[in-house]
Amino acid sequence: MFHCSKILKKIMLIMINLLISSTYIIGVESCCVGNSCLKMTSFKAQVDSGTSFTFLPGHAYGAIAEEFDQQVNGSRSSIEGSPWEYCYVPGSQELPKVPSLTLVFQQNNSFVVYDPVFVFYGNQGVIGFCLAIQPTEGDMGTIGQNFMTGYRLVFDRENKKLAWSRSNCQDLSLGKRIPLSPNETSSNPLPTDEQQRTNGHAVAPAVAGRAPHKPSAASSRMVSSCRGTVKYRVE
């Protein structure tokens, strides 16, 4: 279990470029689903805590969704009212274990999305769930609030850096500052076989492009995302 009081234990750090006021653009070098790291999944994305869900460029979205589909334990199905393409019906009324999604940055720094799904509940329990990612045109994606769940993030305008650490949200004080330097290396190194063999062009975190739209709430000094898996009840 992770405690917010131990927030200094594990802070990941990447360089970003501040294009316009409160806009953060990062470069993702590759993506992993579970233990499988995918080729040619580099992209640039705006980190926007004011956007509810995540949108990825078509090439990255397709590779991630197909790999997720192969690993997930559930029957592919459509769910009424869902905007997402990859939806599933579980074998029981409980949410099965779903593969994690990892964004890999420069120097093998990584950001693990532990619950990349949106869950639909009925009166008897889970009736379905969807991979909560949508494709977007162009080469610029948006990392939305659903990818930030379970983390505390710092948007540092002055130093043009973005930092994060795991949080179980027991400590919601926004008055504490987080040093923007990593204290230790990750205890969970990523599998790198396919990542090292990829021929795709990796976009360094310091490389920036034009923001697709004005962010609505990314200017926060510190953001705590305390919700668990995103849920929706169907009556």
Q: Which domains, from first to last, does the chain contain?
A: 18-151+187-220 (2.40.70.10)
Cβ atoms 90, 14 nearer than 8 A: no
Q: Specify the pLDDT at position 123.
A: 84
Q: Specify the pLDDT at position 134.
A: 96
28, with CB counted inside 10 A (0-12, 13-18, 19+), is: buried
- The mean per-residue pLDDT over the stretch 119-143 comes to 91
Q: What pTM, to 2 d.p., does this model score?
A: 0.68
Q: Which two tokens stand for residue 30?
A: 């590759």
Q: Which two tokens stand for residue 160?
A: 């043009």
Q: What pairs with residue 37 in β-bridges?
A: 32
Q: Is a pLDDT exceeding 60 seen at residue 83?
A: yes
Residue type, 182: P
Rounded Cα distance, 95 and 120, in Å: 10
Residue type, 73: N
Smallest CA-to-CA distance from 119 within 153, 96, 102 is with 96
Q: Which two tokens stand for residue 10?
A: 């594990």
159-214 confidence digits (pLDDT tens): 878 888 887 755 555 445 545 444 444 444 433 333 333 333 333 333 333 334 44
Placement of tokens 């200017």 in the chain: 219
Q: Specify the pLDDT at position 67.
A: 97
Cβ atoms 64, 34 nearer than 8 A: no
Instruction: Give the residue, 53 or 234, on which the prediction is more confident.
Output: 53
- The mean per-residue pLDDT over the stretch 51-58 comes to 95
Report how far apart, in Å, the C-alpha atoms of 12 and of each of 21, 32, 170, 184, 209 are. Answer: 23, 17, 20, 9, 23
